Amino acid sequence: MPKYKIKVNGTEQELDVDNEMPLLWALRDVLGLVGTKYGCGIAQCGACTVHIDDAPVRSCSVRVSDVTGRSIRTIEGLSEGSRLHSLQQAWIEVDVAQCGYCQAGQLMSAAALLKDNPDPSDADIDVAMAGNYCRCGTYNRIRSAIHTAAAYENAASQAPDLRQDLA
Ligand code: FES
Ligand code: FES
């Protein structure tokens, strides 16, 4: 089998996998990064969202062979060192998750949004998050948490003190 090199959460990985293997399979079954979830498998639900070179992508529908040499970030790499990402802190404070299954994908889409738009409106959020489904209907809390995280980021002097330390 061919070997593909990708960088995942800052670490170079060499994957000896079939050239048709979706990135999601490689992340979960080969690298053991099971935070990224399988939902529909056809790029419709957003549960499998990761970043490829900072852009949100449905990992169920991208082959490893198509992302060789690229930089991947998963939910396991969202925190900043030992500190929660501001979105993770906001998710806790707003108590967003219900069953939790969709939430890794929601967070990765939200992180991509805030990187491009640090102060999104409700309409901006609705557009950016439209491809991430939540069967538990946590949409209002997701929107609230994104605003909360944006406020953390925009009050940078307070943000570091508000986030929990993972260590
Ligand atoms: S599992 Fe990839 S979009 Fe649903
Ligand atoms: S929290 Fe249950 S599917 Fe979103």
CB of 97 within 6 A of ligand 2: the answer is yes
What does 104-162 look like in DSSP terms, one character per residue?
HHHHHHHHHHHHH-SS--HHHHHHHTTT---TT--HHHHHHHHHHHHHHHHTTTTHHHH
Domain final position from 30, 55, 77? 77
Q: Are residues 73 and 106 in the same domain?
A: no
Ligand found nearest the CA of 46: 1
Q: What is the pLDDT of residue 27?
A: 98
The minimum-distance atom of ligand 1 relative to the CA of 61 is: 2
Q: What is the CATH number of the domain that holds 154?
A: 1.10.150.120
Q: Are residues 58 and 114 in the same domain?
A: no
Q: What is the CATH number of the domain that holds 58?
A: 3.10.20.30
CB of 139 within 6 A of ligand 2: the answer is no
Digit-coded pLDDT (tens) for 129-146: 999 999 999 999 999 999
CB of 47 within 6 A of ligand 2: the answer is no
Read off the pTM: 0.92
